[in-house]
Chain A
Amino acid sequence: MMLTLLDELLLFSGATLLVALFIGRGLAAGWMVTILYGGQLLALLKMAVLGYGGGTIASSLSFEIMGQELSWRFDGLSWFFALITIGSALLSSWFSCGAWERSYIRQGGNIWLFHTAMALNVFTMLILLASGDLLSLFIGWELVSWAGFLLMVLAGGVATSAAMRYITYAMAGGMAIFGGLALIYTASGSLQLEAVTTAVEQMSGAKLWLLVILFGGGFGVKMGLMPFHLWQAPAYAETPGPGSAFLGAISSRMGLFAILLVLVKLFGIVNIESLKLPFTPIDARDLLAWIAVFTIILPTFTAMKQNDARHLLAWHGIGQGGYMLLGVVVADAMGGAGGLLHVFNHATYQAALFMAVTAVIYRTGTSDLNKLGGLVVRMPLSFVVLLIGIIGLAGLPPMNGFVSKWLVYRSLLNQGMPLLFLAAVIGTLGTILSVYKLIHNIFLGQLRVEHEHVSEAPWSMMIPMLILSAIIFVTGLLPGIPLEWVASALQTVGLPVPDHTLGGIESASGSLDMIWVIGVLFAGFGVGALVFYSAGRSKRVHQLDNYAGGHFLSADVRYQYSDNFYAGLMHLIGGWYRGSFLWLERSIRSLVEFLSLGMQGLYRRANAEFYLLTTALFVIAWVVI
């Protein structure tokens, strides 16, 4: 039997899992696994033709079980997501080797389980991305959910309760998809993609609505779409450092992949647009767009209130997912490209940000934003990485986040959706405010006495961070590189493809050439530098050689302003934080608790015979009448 390229990739990934599982206890195991991720990346690059134009590569693996055919294959969309998956796994795993690994073991962590969980996540994600029919999609989906649970739960303590919350949400989502699957099967008699497409054409509006809700909701749980977003931030944030970098980069994007495959490719945006919401002027597509926008705004402003750097980033991860969905449901050439490009861009800067924060934790032992400050003088490289990351996250030039957000905004304007545009801009405003809080409270301001002797993060952690930073900048300068892959992915799901160049997008309604943008920007920097250096030698002063409010400052006087950040703004918008979703979640929980109590009471009663006779009398009476 000839192995196809996809078989090779899956075998490689499976082998990585086995290596982690069986010889993952030694210290060199981390390096070994990292090298194997590199091997997976090579195997993926051998399939690069998928990223440049399309076609599919099938796996020779296929089953027939109980009349269901299961098959796996890769196309442009799978390849694009797989590239991000393996790339972020490779860099996160690299980051975890050496120094971080040793400190993790010292703190009582189980490094074997960590590597195994990572390898399992990658393997299951590849299986999900390769799914060739809806049944294999569901199988992959559940595998990914449970693998994610393993990674989230392994830190113990707080992480366990976050992971338990996650698995309840994920199970609910999974069951919604399972129900949808059964309904589709009833309608089409098969779970093969072609059969489903045909069946959707003949489906009644109500049924398609139900399917959109079931699948959209189910996949949305993993993406953290409102109102299913509560689980995500704590679950990702409490995962051990490199794990949260990996999860934050790609894990919830599996939801977007599934939405693209099922809602966009199989159901079709046109069909979804034809579903009207009764008694309102909006349709299902508008509904999705507004969900996306609220997913941008609310979690972003929640992020602003976080006092833990990891939680702040994780909340942003939820918000950024909203931009991706927004772009995809606008579904014109620019929107689709922007949404998909943002998946790639977000993965790069989110991983870099989580790694930078993990590096800070590694050196200082805390990620509490009220207990840090002034680290720029001690960890300058980490500062640069974090700076590059937050510029990307905030969507400002010259980093890659700007390109994808620009595309999404542009498409909203082109399609005449000013309200959505406005809402998206509000979200970006919140992002800029909160990432400033992040960098200020960690790196700027006053260095704390206890951090006087902190040194820069070790190279084993620094190199992956620098690689990511380079990617963030290069793909910001030359967005044409990832746009090529995005175009191929768009083609596979049947969305229009924009005209792209190495520097950006060509369009009648407004082009973007990042080479020019960045050229102008750096020319501006050059002028500034010229002014700065022509002013003569500057004098370096110690941080504490300073005064404020007429007093000289000394190390024992705290002047780092971090607690109650943005007090003025909070005075204005503080009343909007009501925790309604938390309230909703708790009410559901209490309801289940209450019902459970009732049911236990039912079984605790001693009058079982009474039940029996009543039931008997009841059914006999029912028959007679």
Chain B
Amino acid sequence: MSTNLVLTIALPLLGAFLLPVLMRSSVAIALWSGPAILVYGCWTVAELWLSGFAQPLSIAIGGFAPPLGINLYVDSLALLFAFAVQLLGLVFWPFTLDQESARRQSLMLLLVAASTGLALSGDLFNLYVFYELAAVATFGLASASGSGAAYVATLRYLILSGIGSVLTLFGIALIYSQTGTLNLAHLAQLAPAQLNNSLGLTAFLAILIGIGVKAELFPVNTWVPEIYATASTRLSAFLAGLLSKLALLIILRLLLLIFHQPEAAQVILILGILGVISGELAAWRAKEMKRMLAFSSIGQLGMIFIAMALPDGKGMLAVLALALHHLIIKSGLFMLAEDWGGALERLRGSAKASPLGAVLFVLFSLSLVGMPPLPGFWAKFVLITELAAQVEPLYLLGLTVFLLATVVEASYLFRIAATLYSNPAPDTLSEEIPKSKGLSLATASLFGAGMIAVALLIAPVGDGLQAIAAQAQDVDLYITTVSPAVSGGSQ
């Protein structure tokens, strides 16, 4: 049954290539095949989870045992993200039917396939391949809105991402030249002896900066505001919500398994702090909702990087909680922003026109600034207790910045809320007031419901995340799962 998991990557990939062809013969089949594939993907992952998944497993592709063959590594963390990818792919599915829909849908399937691959791969080279695949799909989707601004933004993103990829490849090459393997489990075994030096550190930093482009790492995130403001909102939501988290996941795995140098954590911490400062402050003056959300997303990702920099995997739970929280909240906020584009001033009086949307906005904002008992509070609580426990002053600086940034965040988010609830300017017609409606409001409500469900079930959710974090942290478990022969070899 577990081999079905390979299909969650293979089927969307196949669908992506067949869809344009199918579209020519039968539009109906083509239209439904994409969602069907994703539903099947969700089902496969959920079934594996529900059938008492406890021990991680490794799936060797093509029957070649790692480290020679390539493998998928499936633990709770990977499964969680694989599930999120399939589900969000479905939620953000480009349902619109027009000339471009075949291209857009197959790109979306490609993105889902690549993202699932990112979540499951147990091999550095494969990660790189899937990463590139995701990038290509993103370029296509980002420019799909067809506006000039979108093309310019995409081009900038393309160049930046391209250089980032080269840098990542350079890092991977360094690792390969040093160890002769790219299998993560194998690398985890070799790392203490061969990568615990300045060469290893250089490799990690190269990969960090390269992949950081997608993870919105400061300062390689300057593409973020432009792309999010110009691309279709559903894509922005997918990118901000999910793809950035998958890039984070790669960095997290590398940190946990291979690179234990304190310097690596230090760089991440500094860049994270700078990300929080720059993102939250820039958002404070943003005049447009999508742009504000983009900046805020940079800030939030900065917070996750701060959590990631905690030594000995202590921040694992915080990273997970913050990442999942941001995934839900930011996706929901972007869906609301879909109908609330343009200058913020235009939104005056929108609460009367769309009460549900306004209430959702307030709820999401409250959770984002960490009001108890909403889930955001618990995520932040986990982070600050871990930060306060550190003695190094840099972590305490991180804590201070984090708290101050939250104040700024509350200030700008509630400025929007106040605008929504204020009376419209006297000369506006009621038709001019933007209204949130239809699919985007429904999607946002879905995320809102998810958030409230998590808030109500916070105790079991917290325990579940703790278990996932503990499992992901266990390096020995990773190694023995992938290559049982060397069990205990890393001690």
Check if B167 sits within 8 Å of A186, measured CB to CB.
no
Check if A179 sits within 8 Å of B384, measured CB to CB.
yes
B contact residues around A612 at 8 Å (CB) = 160, 163-164, 167, 209, 213, 219-220
Does A142 count as interface, using CB distance less than 8 angstroms?
A: yes
Closest to A63 in B: B459
Check if B164 sits within 8 Å of A599, measured CB to CB.
no
Does A544 count as interface, using CB distance less than 8 angstroms?
A: no
Q: Output the least CB separation between A598 and chain B (Å).
A: 8
Closest to A135 in B: B381
Check if A608 sits within 8 Å of B160, measured CB to CB.
yes
Check if A603 sits within 8 Å of B222, measured CB to CB.
yes
The complex places the Cα of A13 from the Cα of B439 at a distance, in Å, of 37
The complex places the Cα of A598 from the Cα of B274 at a distance, in Å, of 13
Does A609 count as interface, using CB distance less than 8 angstroms?
A: yes
- Interface bin, chain B: 35 or more
The complex places the Cα of A146 from the Cα of B225 at a distance, in Å, of 30
The complex places the Cα of A146 from the Cα of B374 at a distance, in Å, of 13
Q: Output the least CB separation between B395 and chain A (Å).
A: 11
CB < 8 Å: which of B206, B222, B279 contacts A605? B222
Take A171-B369, A608-B223 as given contacts and tell me if A179 and B407 are in contact as well, using a CB distance cutoff of 8 Å.
no
B contact residues around A172 at 8 Å (CB) = 407
Check if B295 sits within 8 Å of A66, measured CB to CB.
no
Q: Output the least CB separation between B198 and chain A (Å).
A: 5
Residues in B382-429 with C-beta less than 8 Å from chain A: 382, 384-385, 387-389, 399-400, 403-404, 406-408, 410-411, 414-415, 418, 421-423
The complex places the Cα of A168 from the Cα of B369 at a distance, in Å, of 12
The complex places the Cα of A139 from the Cα of B209 at a distance, in Å, of 38
B contact residues around A64 at 8 Å (CB) = 459
Does A213 count as interface, using CB distance less than 8 angstroms?
A: no
A contact residues around B445 at 8 Å (CB) = none
Q: Output the least CB separation between B215 and chain A (Å).
A: 13
Contact with B along A609-625 (1 / 0, CB 8 A): 10111011001101110
The complex places the Cα of A593 from the Cα of B459 at a distance, in Å, of 40
Q: Output the least CB separation between B478 and chain A (Å).
A: 25
Does B458 count as interface, using CB distance less than 8 angstroms?
A: yes
Query: A-side binding surface: helix, strand, loop or mixed?
Result: helix
Residues in B204-222 with C-beta less than 8 Å from chain A: 205-206, 209, 213, 219-220, 222
Q: Output the least CB separation between B54 and chain A (Å).
A: 21
B contact residues around A66 at 8 Å (CB) = 378, 381-382, 459, 462-463, 466
B contact residues around A624 at 8 Å (CB) = 198, 202
A contact residues around B278 at 8 Å (CB) = 599, 602-603
- Interface bin, chain A: 35 or more
A contact residues around B224 at 8 Å (CB) = 603
The complex places the Cα of A76 from the Cα of B463 at a distance, in Å, of 36
Q: Output the least CB separation between A604 and chain B (Å).
A: 8
Residues in A192-237 with C-beta less than 8 Å from chain B: none
The complex places the Cα of A179 from the Cα of B396 at a distance, in Å, of 10
Take A139-B372, A595-B281, A619-B267 as given contacts and tell me if A171 and B411 are in contact as well, using a CB distance cutoff of 8 Å.
yes
The complex places the Cα of A619 from the Cα of B220 at a distance, in Å, of 13
Closest to B285 in A: A596
B contact residues around A178 at 8 Å (CB) = 370, 380, 384, 403
Residues in B267-295 with C-beta less than 8 Å from chain A: 267, 277-279, 281-282, 284-286, 295
Take A139-B372, A179-B403 as given contacts and tell me if A167 and B205 are in contact as well, using a CB distance cutoff of 8 Å.
no
Check if A179 sits within 8 Å of B205, measured CB to CB.
no
A contact residues around B381 at 8 Å (CB) = 66
Check if A592 sits within 8 Å of B160, measured CB to CB.
no
Closest to A179 in B: B403
Closest to A606 in B: B156
Residues in A559-617 with C-beta less than 8 Å from chain B: 592-593, 595-600, 602-603, 605-606, 608-609, 611-613, 615-616
CB < 8 Å: which of B282, B388, B408, B459 contacts A182? B388
Does B47 count as interface, using CB distance less than 8 angstroms?
A: no
B contact residues around A160 at 8 Å (CB) = 418, 421-422
Check if A615 sits within 8 Å of B219, measured CB to CB.
yes
A contact residues around B373 at 8 Å (CB) = 139
The complex places the Cα of A56 from the Cα of B368 at a distance, in Å, of 36
Query: B-side binding surface: helix, strand, loop or mixed?
Result: helix
Does A407 count as interface, using CB distance less than 8 angstroms?
A: no
Take A63-B459, A172-B407, A175-B404 as given contacts and tell me if A599 and B277 are in contact as well, using a CB distance cutoff of 8 Å.
yes
Residues in A357-372 with C-beta less than 8 Å from chain B: none
Check if B414 sits within 8 Å of A179, measured CB to CB.
no
Does B366 count as interface, using CB distance less than 8 angstroms?
A: yes
Take A139-B373, A142-B371, A592-B284 as given contacts and tell me if A623 and B459 are in contact as well, using a CB distance cutoff of 8 Å.
no
The complex places the Cα of A563 from the Cα of B67 at a distance, in Å, of 88
Residues in B177-216 with C-beta less than 8 Å from chain A: 198, 201-202, 205-206, 209, 213
Check if A611 sits within 8 Å of B459, measured CB to CB.
no
CB < 8 Å: which of B209, B263, B387, B388 contacts A616? B209
Closest to A619 in B: B205
Does B453 count as interface, using CB distance less than 8 angstroms?
A: no
A contact residues around B277 at 8 Å (CB) = 599
Q: Output the least CB separation between A486 and chain B (Å).
A: 31
Q: Output the least CB separation between A175 and chain B (Å).
A: 4
Closest to B202 in A: A623
Contact with B along A158-181 (1 / 0, CB 8 A): 001001100110011001101101
Q: Output the least CB separation between A126 and chain B (Å).
A: 16
A contact residues around B223 at 8 Å (CB) = 608
Does B159 count as interface, using CB distance less than 8 angstroms?
A: yes
Q: Output the least CB separation between A188 and chain B (Å).
A: 11
Does A65 count as interface, using CB distance less than 8 angstroms?
A: yes
The complex places the Cα of A168 from the Cα of B205 at a distance, in Å, of 38
Does A138 count as interface, using CB distance less than 8 angstroms?
A: yes
B contact residues around A622 at 8 Å (CB) = 267
Closest to A601 in B: B282
Check if B202 sits within 8 Å of A609, measured CB to CB.
no
Check if A596 sits within 8 Å of B284, measured CB to CB.
yes
Q: Output the least CB separation between A179 and chain B (Å).
A: 5
A contact residues around B458 at 8 Å (CB) = 65
Q: Output the least CB separation between A586 and chain B (Å).
A: 15
B contact residues around A602 at 8 Å (CB) = 219, 222, 278, 282
Take A64-B459, A138-B372 as given contacts and tell me if A183 and B167 are in contact as well, using a CB distance cutoff of 8 Å.
no
Residue with the greatest number of chain B CB neighbours at <10 A, chosen from A149, A592, A603: A603
Contact with B along A245-258 (1 / 0, CB 8 A): 00000000000000
Does A421 count as interface, using CB distance less than 8 angstroms?
A: no
Closest to A613 in B: B163
Residues in A103-130 with C-beta less than 8 Å from chain B: none
The complex places the Cα of A599 from the Cα of B283 at a distance, in Å, of 9
Residue with the greatest number of chain B CB neighbours at <10 A, chosen from A163, A602, A612: A612
B contact residues around A394 at 8 Å (CB) = none
Take A146-B366, A171-B411 as given contacts and tell me if A182 and B201 are in contact as well, using a CB distance cutoff of 8 Å.
no
CB < 8 Å: which of A168, A182, A608 contacts B220? A608
Check if B220 sits within 8 Å of A171, measured CB to CB.
no
CB < 8 Å: which of B219, B389, B410 contacts A186? B389
Supply 12 further A-B pairs (C-beta < 8 A) apart from A596-B285, A615-B219, A623-B202: A63-B459, A66-B463, A156-B422, A164-B411, A164-B418, A179-B400, A593-B285, A598-B281, A603-B222, A612-B164, A616-B206, A623-B205
Q: Name 6 interchain pairs, CB-CB below 8 A, sorted by A.
A: A175-B404, A178-B403, A179-B388, A599-B282, A612-B163, A623-B201
A: which residues have CB within 8 A of B?
63-66, 138-139, 142-143, 146, 149, 153, 156, 160, 163-164, 167-168, 171-172, 175-176, 178-179, 181-183, 185-186, 592-593, 595-600, 602-603, 605-606, 608-609, 611-613, 615-616, 619-620, 622-624
What 9 A-B pairs are tightest by C-beta distance, nearest first?
A182-B388, A599-B282, A139-B372, A175-B403, A608-B222, A66-B462, A182-B384, A596-B285, A171-B410
